[in-house]
Structure 1
Amino acid sequence: MDPQADQLAFGQRLQILRTRRGLTRDQLGGLVGRSGSWVKGLETGRLKVPKLDTILALAEVLRGRNLAELTGDQGLHIDLFAGPGHPRLAAVKAAVDAWPLATAQEVPSTTHIRARLTRAWRTRHSAPNHREAIGALLPDLIRDAQIAVRQANTSADRRAAQASLAEVYSLTQFFVAYQPDAALLWRVAERGLVAAQESEDPYAIGVAAWLSTQAHRDTGPAHYDAADAVNLATLEYLQPLLEDSSPEVLAIAGALTFEAGYTAARRGETGVAWRHWETAGAMANGLPDGFYDPITSFSRPIMSAHAVTIAVELRHGGESVRQAVAAEAMAIPSRPRRARHRIEEARGYQIAGQPDVALATLEKAHEAAPETIRYNGYAKRIVLEEADSKAPARRQRASALAVKIGLLAA
């Protein structure tokens, strides 16, 4: 059955999407503060369609592509966890899909490609329109990195070229994430894993696994085991290397350790989630002063942001606010990562019943990086919910933000 079919009732759509995500009725009910029997009542039609705030809470858990998928109302055809599609997506997709098996073109050296990658990461972290900035760079970078692998003359050169290609795919995955092309996202993630394995570079392997873990986890509860499998296998591979490794390898091991906690928090495993967070924090403290990984953002300061995320994913409103207040003074050098942290804080304030603070925090996220909030389903859920608020001032504020991020027409 297709949830887009017009004849389906709300309850039927809800059951289809819940089943696709691998959730029981009790699990879905618990994630939105209700019971399994309440979910059954909605699915069987015994209960009426709930209010918008509840629909948005269900959409968040089910990670539907848009509200129409759940409601059937094409007037609510609003993209949530899949963004609207960036204007440069087609060009990036074409570059990924092209496969230059034979070419007479001579490409820059691996050293030159790595220098371009370094500039691209700096651009991503500093630009408020970071998707536009890296979207303009990616097509040529993807093509050149692919050809560099083909033209490598020695085994060492080929491994170095594969490491660069893996990193190009990592940058590409940041661009493709939350856009309406799940197949492209998985193609990029899988190619990144293959290139990293071929490179035999521990850092490249760790980064590719870090991104693959996120892709699995964001697909839904049915994929949490796959996320853990990739994550924990990579940590096991890295463990013997850590004693004499570079800060970069230590950082990717720390980032993977936190990801294990993130997945545990999604499962509702409080003790496991915080234990992984504490272990990752100890690893961050072992990094050199001022170290900040350009891909994962793993560092000492980021652990405060990670604490907010753990509390939010566990749906602990009071703890989310406490962690948000504790993290307020930290400095995150990356604009998109700073915006993402603000969105996590806003989720915490919303859970804690502080919608005005949540909206103010989302406004800060928009100031830091408009393209981050535009493609974030959690932020859009909060804005849409408060745009329907009974409080006139809050409704007006949310509506103004909805216009800024493209949810409502001006």
Structure 2
Amino acid sequence: MNDGTNDALGPALTIGQRIRIKREQRGMTREVLAGLVGKSASWLKAVESGRLQQNPRLPIILQLAEALRVRDLAELTGDQSMPVRMFTGPGHPALEDVRAAINFAPLLPTGIVQPLTTLRARLDAAWRIRHSSPDHRTALGQLLPALLRDVQLAAAMYRDADRRRALALLAETYGLTQMFLAYQPAQDLLWRVADRALMAAQESEDPLALTCAVWFLVAAHRDTGNFEAAQGINQQGMAAVEPAMTDPSVDLQAMWGALCFELAFTSARLGETGDAWLHWEEAARVAERLPAAYYQPWTSFSRVIMGAHAVTVAVELHQGGESARQADSALSAPIPSRPRRGRHLIEVARAHQLQRDHAAVLGTLELAQQTAPETIRYNGYARRMTLELTEGPAYLRPQARELADRIGLLV
């Protein structure tokens, strides 16, 4: 945690100086950054030069942080005086039990190892519960500790072909665990499972397990702002499994499409408009070749998800009109996963925010909360938008505060 005394930018820097440094590091002009937060270039110049009588209010600081890809507000404020809870959710009550299971290391494995078919069935059931439950972290928190221990034990005790199958299951189980850990104060655990998943997948020699592990590792790098690493791992992973794409299974074909979209997502985060839409189109072509009712449980890749993916690309590119158009066409998409529907609604809210439609933002966030309470409770964008609305238009503040209370922002 940064307390401002060992800040890489220097503890004596003002908020304005920090904003200017981050803006220049991102290669942004004042006009571009100011436009992203609905302000003028002259206003931003006054902020950076310290000519304003007071620092920008919290909602504007949060918008600047998003536009500059800053995950910790201390990088802009220099201390912990402003809340950072909108970037990470609270620790789930089951987090420590999951931590203990991750740390379980069967160096001298003993005991009864379960049949691989049983472990496969348990993992499939966990995925189904994850997608069908409104409180999916709570549901996973009850299942993951025992499942992690049993799959780790199987990978340690089985031999030869069975061990490779167990390792493929382990890579997938770590991926499911990463979904539980996302947006929680457990970055050490998230990286541990992401790295272990890749190692297990490589040892399994299973192309499907490898694409799963690569997909989760790309997400981990991108979510910490390391976009170049995310792109590199994504491309390497696709190159590694390309020989298996001559006659792929439906699942492997879907994972290939998911990795195509990850390239689109990362390109959008980098502001590479042409590449982002090009990779989205590649992913859409893969999706069209999948069975109409198919839904990939690890990544949600499917025909039905491509509209939601288009919203995400447009929002990340800060294309207000395009994101609104995509949001209108994809809002009613029948996404079968409750947490994924919740996340899509949050992306739609972000699209409305680009249009400065505060009432639509709040209404969409309310719908997301009704759809998947634990998705919005742990999603950084949703928490930030909700907190902004508590200081937004006066007629929306009471409703926004009620929502903020429901998702744990006012605790």
Q: Which runs of 5+ in 1 are unaligned?
A: none
Match of 1:135 among 130, 141, 145: 141
* 1:231 to 1:113, Cα distance in 2 relative to 1, 3 A: same
The answer to whether the 8 Å contact 1:3/1:16 transfers is no
Segment of structure 1 superposing worse, 238-247 or 114-123 = 238-247
**1:197 corresponding residue in structure 2:** 202
Q: CA deviation at 1:45?
A: 3.2
1:116 aligns with 2:122: yes
Counterparts of 1:13 and 1:177, CA distance in 2: 31
The answer to whether the 8 Å contact 2:20/2:48 transfers is no
Q: CA deviation at 1:328?
A: 2.3
Q: CA deviation at 1:238?
A: 2.6
Q: CA deviation at 1:57?
A: 0.6
Letter in 2 for 1:157: D
1:14 aligns with 2:14: no
Q: TM-score, normalised by structure 1?
A: 0.91
Counterparts of 1:70 and 1:245, CA distance in 2: 47
* 1:387 to 1:8, Cα distance in 2 relative to 1, 3 A: farther
Instruction: Give secondary structure in 2 for the equivalent of 1:241.
Output: helix
**1:290 corresponding residue in structure 2:** 293
Counterparts of 1:386 and 1:130, CA distance in 2: 26
* 1:2 to 1:16, Cα distance in 2 relative to 1, 3 A: farther
Q: CA deviation at 1:225?
A: 1.1
Instruction: Give secondary structure in 2 for the equivalent of 1:325.
Output: helix
**1:49 corresponding residue in structure 2:** 55
Q: CA deviation at 1:203?
A: 1.0
Note the alpha carbon deviations across 1:216-254, whole angstroms, 9 max, x for none.
Answer: 11111xx21111111111122233322311100000000
1:151 aligns with 2:153: no
Instruction: Give secondary structure in 2 for the equivalent of 1:84.
Output: coil
Letter in 1 for 2:204: S
**1:210 corresponding residue in structure 2:** 215
1:188 aligns with 2:177: no
Counterparts of 1:102 and 1:35, CA distance in 2: 64
Q: CA deviation at 1:39?
A: 6.1
Counterparts of 1:269 and 1:87, CA distance in 2: 39
Q: CA deviation at 1:383?
A: 0.8
Instruction: Give secondary structure in 1 for the equivalent of 2:156.
Output: helix
1:367 aligns with 2:373: no
The answer to whether the 8 Å contact 2:89/2:379 transfers is yes
Note the alpha carbon deviations across 1:233-288, whole angstroms, 9 max, x for none.
Answer: 11222333223111000000000001101111111111111111111001000011
Note the alpha carbon deviations across 1:263-320, whole angstroms, 9 max, x for none.
Answer: 1111111111111111100100001121000110000000000000000000011111
Counterparts of 2:197 and 2:394, CA distance in 1: 48
Q: CA deviation at 1:181?
A: 1.8
Segment of structure 1 superposing worse, 239-248 or 54-63 = 54-63
Q: CA deviation at 1:51?
A: 2.4
**2:271 corresponding residue in structure 1:** 268
1:7-406 paired onto structure 2 within 5 Å? 8=12, 10-11=14-15, 14=18, 18=22, 23-24=26-27, 26=29, 29=33, 32=37, 42=47, 45-47=50-52, 48-62=54-68, 67=73, 70-71=76-77, 76-153=82-159, 155-220=160-225, 223-389=226-392, 391-406=393-408
Superposition RMSD in Å? 2.6
Q: CA deviation at 1:54?
A: 1.3
Counterparts of 1:110 and 1:37, CA distance in 2: 64
Letter in 2 for 1:341: H
Q: CA deviation at 1:184?
A: 1.4
Letter in 2 for 1:360: G
* 1:25 to 1:330, Cα distance in 2 relative to 1, 3 A: closer
Letter in 2 for 1:121: W
The answer to whether the 8 Å contact 1:363/1:401 transfers is yes
Q: Which runs of 5+ in 2 are unaligned?
A: none
Q: TM-score, normalised by structure 2?
A: 0.91
Instruction: Give secondary structure in 2 for the equivalent of 1:396.
Output: helix
Counterparts of 2:188 and 2:257, CA distance in 1: 29
Note the alpha carbon deviations across 1:10-40, whole angstroms, 9 max, x for none.
Answer: 4278359939x95346488365466889767
Counterparts of 1:270 and 1:25, CA distance in 2: 15
Q: CA deviation at 1:97?
A: 1.6
The answer to whether the 8 Å contact 1:308/1:348 transfers is yes
Instruction: Give secondary structure in 2 for the equivalent of 1:408.
Output: coil
* 1:17 to 1:110, Cα distance in 2 relative to 1, 3 A: farther
Work out the percentage of aligned pairs sharing the same amino acid: 51
Note the alpha carbon deviations across 1:180-200, whole angstroms, 9 max, x for none.
Answer: 121211111000100011111
Note the alpha carbon deviations across 1:102-129, whole angstroms, 9 max, x for none.
Answer: 1321121121111100000000001111
The answer to whether the 8 Å contact 1:65/1:80 transfers is no
Letter in 2 for 1:50: P
Instruction: Give secondary structure in 2 for the equivalent of 1:142.
Output: helix
* 1:40 to 1:87, Cα distance in 2 relative to 1, 3 A: farther
Letter in 2 for 1:328: L
Q: CA deviation at 1:65?
A: 5.5
The answer to whether the 8 Å contact 1:128/1:370 transfers is yes
Counterparts of 1:127 and 1:38, CA distance in 2: 46
Letter in 2 for 1:237: A
Letter in 2 for 1:403: D
Q: CA deviation at 1:395?
A: 1.1
Note the alpha carbon deviations across 1:371-400, whole angstroms, 9 max, x for none.
Answer: 1001111111111111101x3321112111
The answer to whether the 8 Å contact 1:160/1:199 transfers is yes
